[in-house]
Amino acid sequence: MITLRGLTKRFGAATAVDNLSLDIAPGRVTGFLGPNGAGKSTTMRMILGLDRPTAGQALVNGRAYPTLRHPLHEVGALLDAKAIHPARSGRSHLLAMARSNGIPPRRVDEVLATVGLDNAAAGKRGKTLSLGMGQRLGIAGALLGDPPVLMFDEPVNGLDPDGVRWIRQLMRSLAAEGRTVFVSSHLMSEMQLTADQLVVIGRGRLIADAPITEVIAASSATAVRVRSPQPAGLAALAERLIARSARVEATGDGEVTVTGASGEQVGDLAHELGVRLHELSIRSASLEEAYLELTAGSVEYAGTTTSVGSRHA
């Protein structure tokens, strides 16, 4: 369990994280989303004691990270795939980490096998590792102490499609074992396949903390198409849905599109009113659509679609 209470971080006049309070629960993959500059990396650094909060607290299993005697046994983290001495081999890097926390050397071979790094790859110096190999080595380091809490910042960067699928399956299997898995990523399609819960922040403030299904269902891009041969009944259904704060738009003869209500809610209400339906279909939003809608007012660095290749006379 990761617990944040009123977590705040200021750098001079700039507030990177603003009064953030939430619980990252075990047994599920929690995705951590937000625009560039939203405060995700700063939040993770404060959880790991790398940055000191201006106010509030960040706890791992009820304790602050700096108070943990053998932290690798409590929490494993990958924040920077290149955080290895350039002249040290991957195996030596892991052995040093193991010795610092009383972990037997044989565990190094176990985690190297888990992440798919053979002896040749593990023997390479840090400066020669590709980004993908560095990611795998960092994940091995996170797993080294067999911790109940795991944190990953952009773990699929540099991985090929097979590697992306592997890390997805790994995170889900770790959560299935009852561990807390907290992962930050900008790759929405992958997060939609991986996460159970989503935490979305913007400009350091909490925007959403909900199951991924709820976040997507709440998007205006998720809509229910309804067709009925009973105009009066369809009008009554539309009136009741509007009274429940849904949005209803006539999109054809005997057809409406509903947003702000689930297909189950529309179907149950139609049954209650005795309205005969010829169609009840759902167009689900993607996570990307839901995310962009949530964070529309929190983007710090926005570009334009103007071509950069236009010629001038």
pLDDT for 230-256, tens place per residue?
Answer: 999 999 999 999 999 999 999 989 999
**DSSP E strand boundaries for 61-111:** 75-78
Fold that domain 2-210 belongs to in CATH: Rossmann fold (3.40.50)
311 has a pLDDT exceeding 50: no
308 has a pLDDT exceeding 70: no
Which residue shows structure tokens 């009136």? 239
Q: Where in the chain do CATH 3.40.50.300 domains reside? A: 2-210
Q: Which of 65-79, 123-137, 214-228 has the lowest mean pLDDT?
A: 123-137
Q: Where in the chain do CATH 3.30.70.790 domains reside? A: 223-283
Amino acid at 237: L
Over residues 296-307, mean pLDDT: 60
Q: Report whether 162 contacts 261 (CB < 8 A).
A: no
- Pull the structure tokens for residue 223: 């809509």
What's the CA dihedral at 200, 204, 206, 207 to 10 degrees?
A: -60
Cα–Cα distance, 95 to 117 (Å, whole number): 15
Q: Which pLDDT belongs to residue 302?
A: 54
Q: Which pLDDT belongs to residue 310?
A: 47
Q: Report whether 86 contacts 127 (CB < 8 A).
A: yes
pLDDT band at 85 (very low <50, low <70, confident <90, very high): confident
66 has a pLDDT exceeding 50: yes
Q: Which pLDDT belongs to residue 301?
A: 52
E strand or H helix at 15, and its extent?
strand 14-24
Range 223-283 has CATH code 3.30.70.790: yes
Amino acid at 59: L
DSSP annotation string for 9-68: EEETTEEEEEEEEEEE-TTEEEEEE--TTSSHHHHHHHHTTSS--SEEEEEETTB-GGG-
Q: What is the mean pLDDT of the chain?
A: 90
pLDDT band at 313 (very low <50, low <70, confident <90, very high): very low
Q: What share of the chain in percent tops pLDDT 90?
A: 67
Cα–Cα distance, 145 to 141 (Å, whole number): 8
pLDDT band at 303 (very low <50, low <70, confident <90, very high): low
Q: Which of 8-17, 50-59, 109-118, 303-312 has the lowest mean pLDDT?
A: 303-312
Q: Report whether 136 contacts 168 (CB < 8 A).
A: no
Q: Which of 2-11, 110-119, 147-156, 273-282 has the lowest mean pLDDT?
A: 110-119
- pLDDT, tens digit, for every residue of 128-176? 888 888 888 999 999 999 999 999 999 888 788 888 999 999 999 999 9
23 has a pLDDT exceeding 60: yes
Q: Which pLDDT belongs to residue 3?
A: 97
pLDDT band at 216 (very low <50, low <70, confident <90, very high): confident
Q: Which pLDDT belongs to residue 222?
A: 83
pTM, rounded to two decimals: 0.82
Q: Which pLDDT belongs to residue 219?
A: 84
Higher pLDDT, 233 or 119: 233
Q: What share of the chain in percent tops pLDDT 70?
A: 95
Which residue shows structure tokens 């991924």? 212
312 has a pLDDT exceeding 60: no
304 has a pLDDT exceeding 60: no
User: 229: buried, middle or exposed (CB in 10 Å: 19+, 13-18, 0-12)?
Assistant: exposed
189 has a pLDDT exceeding 70: yes
Over residues 262-270, mean pLDDT: 93
268 has a pLDDT exceeding 90: yes
Amino acid at 67: T
Over residues 265-282, mean pLDDT: 96
